[in-house]
Structure 1
Amino acid sequence: MTIEHSGGGDPDRSLALLWRDRSTQPEPVRGRRPTLTVDRIVASAIAVADSEGLTAASMHRVAKELGAGTMTLYTYVPAKNELLDLMVDAVLSERQFPAPNEPRPSSWRAQVQLYSERTRAMYRRHPWLRQVSTVRPALGPGVMAGDEYLLSTVSGLGLPPRQLAAAASSIGTFVDAHAAIEADNAYLVRVTGETEDTWWQQRMSFWENYFDTERHPTMVEVWNGGGFEASAVDQAAEAYEFGLNRLLDGIEAAAAKH
């Protein structure tokens, strides 16, 4: 699986496009009155990526979907890097987290749960996101809204600023990583027609012919104690909920020391 990297576009061009709603400049016009908009181009690219994968969302393919020439797209979006930045930020914006002055769940844990639910749903709608690294994010409205919301969920715990930032980042990293894994599993089910449980069942001979109990005593102990009895899907869900709750417990414990 090829990994793309966001934030790779020209900074000035990407930022101007990402924050185009704040620009007073008209969209580029060459010759006749334009029939395209940046929003239409981005929406079309996302639709192609959703149905056929990220690789399919080339400038040429998007232009074809819109009934336009490829060169015409370049008068709106200068390169594929900038298009990827716009696509990622657009789907991040779909989460629509409450703004600072809008109602939200009363407890901080419930606010984190809202972040979790909307982020995981976003990955399910757009499984190609698992192929995009946001280590160097494009600083668009979707990214900034998510970061602001996460910081605000832990801001009332009394943590010092650096710990507050670390706590919010830890939550975001945990949720995003698990959401990407869920999306990857769902993608494999779609393209192979096999569920995860079916995949494991087809490899039962491994346990009979290759698994060495003496080299893996802890696995054997957990197995005999029923630790692996749940389905693959249920195990993943349990691991996610357990990990997130223990992470939040740790943040609360750290906050209690201040």
Structure 2
Amino acid sequence: MAAERSGGGDPVRTLALLWRRPPEPKPVGRKPKVSVDQIVTAAIAVADREGLGAMSMARVAQELGVGTMSLYGHVPGKAELIDLMADTVLQERDLTPVGTWRERVQHYADRTRAVYRKHPWMRDVSMVRPPLGPGLMDGQEFVLAALADSGLEPRQITVAHVAIEGFVHSAAASEVDDQQLEEKTGESGDSWWGARQVFWDDYFDVERYPTMTSLWHSGAYDTGGTLSDNVRSSFDYGLAKLLDGIEGGLR
């Protein structure tokens, strides 16, 4: 499916919903059938089970057992709902500021990765124009505070923050690609590669790809783990080297 994107709804209404300002008024007369929180929770549940492509206002209304029009009095449409969903799951991160600045950034990365694994549909949400809600902003404050404690200059802090955010979200999104494919096809990444052993036996040209061949014979690809293990190792390696580079700016 084509990626959805955050930040596509009415900005005034979206921001009011993200921050619950004003909060939903107490009902006068007949009690409303649903609330914003119930709508968001149901939408996340649908996306978790069926994918973001299956999530629509009508499908969420069905999940809640109400008419579709009952939702529009609370949430204007799907664009605003996607912002609410993404920011809500980002609030699941337990961002406790403990340890060195590097340990805190690693904690942020691990918790963000966990959110993507729990909610793989986040892979299908482009957040180039992000939902400016508490989930996103709390995460940004956490990373900026860690970097501020590192001793970097103010401009270095903001540049490093952008680099970290880009790496963490991109790497976490790429990781769940294999998870989604396994769920859809019933075939693991390891099984998929195993079925293509014939490529290495009959098609791979050692003279055309001498660097790969040399690395193969040196044992560089003998990780001894599953594809998921290798992805995790690459994630940790990439983040560590990124932080090494940032730390180099202190010298």
Q: Secondary structure at the match of 2:250?
A: helix
- Unpaired stretches in structure 1, ≥5 consecutive residues: 99-103
Percent of aligned pairs with the same residue? Answer: 52
Letter in 2 for 1:113: Q
| Structure 2 counterpart of 1:33 | 31
Amino acid at match of 2:84: L
Secondary structure, aligned partner of 1:169: helix
Q: Measured at CA, do residues 48 and 30 of structure 1 come closer, stay the same or move farther in structure 2, by a change above 3 Å?
A: farther
1:218 corresponds to which letter in structure 2? T
Q: CA deviation at 1:35?
A: 2.4
1:31: Cα distance to partner? 7.3
Counterparts of 1:51 and 1:233, CA distance in 2: 21
Equivalent position to 1:172, from 147, 165, 172: 165
The one-letter amino acid paired with 2:32 is: P
Describe how 1:168-247 pairs up with structure 2 within 5 A.
168-230=161-223, 231-247=226-242
Aligned residue number for residue 247 of structure 2: 252
Shift of 1:59: 0.2
Q: Report SS of the residue matched to 1:36.
A: coil
Rate the CA distance shift 1:64–1:250 in 2: closer, same or farther, 3 A. Answer: same
Residue of structure 2 in register with 1:47 after alignment: 45
For residues 29 and 10 of structure 2, the distance between their equivalents in structure 1, rounded to whole angstroms, comes to: 26
The one-letter amino acid of 1:185's match is D
CA distance in 1, matches of 2:23, 2:5: 29
Q: Could you tell me which amino acid in structure 1 is paired with residue 38 of structure 2?
A: R
Query: Is this contact kept in 1: 2:33–2:66, CA < 8 A?
Result: no
Show structure 2 runs of 5+ residues with no match.
none
Give the TM-score normalised by structure 2. Answer: 0.94
Note the 1:124-143 alignment, pairs <5 A. 124-143=117-136
Kindly indicate whether the alpha-carbon contact (under 8 Å) linking 1:38 and 1:76 is maintained by their aligned counterparts in 2: yes
Q: Secondary structure at the match of 2:230?
A: helix
The one-letter amino acid of 1:90's match is T
RMSD (Å), alpha carbons? 1.6
Letter in 2 for 1:234: D
- How do 1:4-153 residues align onto structure 2 when only pairs under 5 Å count? 4-20=4-20, 22-23=21-22, 26=25, 32-98=30-96, 104-153=97-146
Letter in 1 for 2:12: D
Aligned length: 249
Distance (whole Å) between structure 2 residues aligned to residue 193 and residue 158 of structure 1: 48
TM-score scaled to structure 1, two decimals? 0.92
Are the counterparts in 2 of residues 228 and 235 from structure 1 also a CA contact under 8 Å?
no
